[in-house]
Amino acid sequence: MSTKIDLSLSRPNRIYRPSEPLEGKILVKSASSISHYGIRMAINGSVNLQVRGGSAGVIESFYGVVKPITILSRTLEIRPSGKIVSGTTEIPFSITLRNPKEDNSERFYETFHGTNISIQYLATVDIMRGYLHKSLSATVEFIVESDKADLLNPPISPEMVIFYITQDTQRYPILPELKSGGFRITGRISTQCSMLEPLSGELTVEASVLPICSIDIHLLRVESVLLGEKIITETSLIQTTQIADGDVCRNMTLPIYVVLPRLLTCPTVLAGPFSIEFKVAIVIFFQSELSRLHPKSDPLTPRLWMAMETLPLELVRARERRSQLVNCADRVGLLS
């Protein structure tokens, strides 16, 4: 049996705030005792930026990856040189993410996994075993959310925007029968939303010369990276939520309810070297012979049988409401 090392964090959801300690256990399983020259824990957080070839010109594509932005870099000695006995050994650790003795002007961005921008926090443990033996190492990612002191107080009333989609609002070519016969879809949707709340709204199909195939809500991320003196921006799809399948009864209100995915979204960030913004797109697919010959491919590519309205979306982090906390506690049996 070879020696195995693992990192176990104290919280199953792995969510921590900058002012809180990162706690857990180092688990070492070994068939025999091993000597070591110290056990060290490294905590690193960074903003990783890259520019894909399709988003930049020929010259910019040579650079590829932009220098990462360091958010956090700390190393702590967990144990000095010694021995680890055979069997399973648990070594507890606790590291404060934000050092109160240091300048706290550095901003802790929330964890985010995007296409060109990735904000990631990693905890790595190393058991140093000298030149004759390979060091033992384990890494785990933990999720960082904003400090409670920086959160907005609820309730955060969503900013609702009224929209309407007709043949005259489309920026791209549409089917001739749609252009001549027309269609009208109206509704409202929130353009500022708390990360703890769903994206909500409503939609009504008032008229349409062609039957409707489906209505989708696209959640989009807009990532911008500063490359030299040029800003490279790319829009990509996060998720699609279908709110109607098949033709829709006219003048019937359809609810819009979209749950935000945690790791693929974060509060809107407008920083110097980069920015992370979001958009929401209401997409209507119409039934036609042409649409049957060409099934859905890239949802962001305009089609003749498709109508779309795209709106900016600001995401914010707010405090949990007391009712949410009570419900969560009730689920795990903390309340009688």
> Which pLDDT score is estimated for 216?
95
Q: Are 187 and 93 found together in one domain?
A: no
What is the total count of domains within the chain?
2
Distance of CA 140 to the CA centre of its chain: 18
Q: Are 131 and 186 found together in one domain?
A: no
User: Please, which pLDDT band fits residue 65 given cuts at 50, 70 and 90?
Assistant: low
Q: Are 179 and 296 found together in one domain?
A: yes
Each residue's pLDDT tens digit, 117-129: 999 999 999 998 8
Classify 210 as helix, strand or coil.
coil
Q: Are 167 and 86 found together in one domain?
A: no
Residue 332 maps to a domain: no
What pTM value is reported for the model? 0.84
Q: Are 168 and 312 found together in one domain?
A: yes
Structure tokens at 30: 């070994």
Q: Are 123 and 171 found together in one domain?
A: no
Comparing CA positions, the residue from 43, 38, 46 lying closest to residue 65 is 46
Find out whether 246 and 94 touch, Cβ atoms under 8 Å: no
Q: Are 123 and 193 found together in one domain?
A: no
Mean pLDDT, all residues of the chain: 85
**What CATH number does the domain containing 295 carry?**
2.60.40.640
Side-chain-side CA neighbours of residue 35 (13 Å): 4
Each residue's pLDDT tens digit, 216-236: 999 999 999 988 888 899 999
> Which pLDDT score is estimated for 331?
42
> Which pLDDT score is estimated for 8?
94
Residue 249 maps to a domain: yes
Each residue's pLDDT tens digit, 159-176: 789 999 999 999 999 999
Each residue's pLDDT tens digit, 80-118: 999 989 899 999 999 988 866 555 556 899 999 999 999
Q: Are 215 and 256 found together in one domain?
A: yes
Range of the domain at 139: 4-144
Residue 207 maps to a domain: yes
Which residues, in sequence order, are CB contacts of 316 under 8 Å at separation 6+? Answer: 152, 156, 192, 193, 194, 195, 267, 268
User: Please, which pLDDT band fits residue 208 given cuts at 50, 70 and 90?
Assistant: very high
Residue 73 maps to a domain: yes
CA–CA distance, 256 with 229 (Å, rounded to integer): 40
Report the DSSP pairing between strands 192-194 and 230-245: unpaired
Comparing CA positions, the residue from 15, 23, 72 lying closest to residue 262 is 15
Q: Are 187 and 284 found together in one domain?
A: yes
Within 10 angstroms of residue 251's Cβ, the number of other Cβ atoms is 10
What stretch of H or E contains 260?
Answer: none
Q: Are 96 and 178 found together in one domain?
A: no
Residue 126 maps to a domain: yes
Q: Are 225 and 134 found together in one domain?
A: no
CA–CA distance, 128 with 125 (Å, rounded to integer): 10
Which of 144, 178, 202 finishes a domain? 144
| ∠ Cα 148 12 124 (to 5°) | 90
Cis peptide leading into residue 155 (ω within 30°): yes
Within 10 angstroms of residue 109's Cβ, the number of other Cβ atoms is 22
How distant, in Å, are the alpha carbons of 107, 177, 294 from that of 204?
42, 21, 27
Q: Are 295 and 184 found together in one domain?
A: yes
The stretch 295-321 carries a mean pLDDT of 83
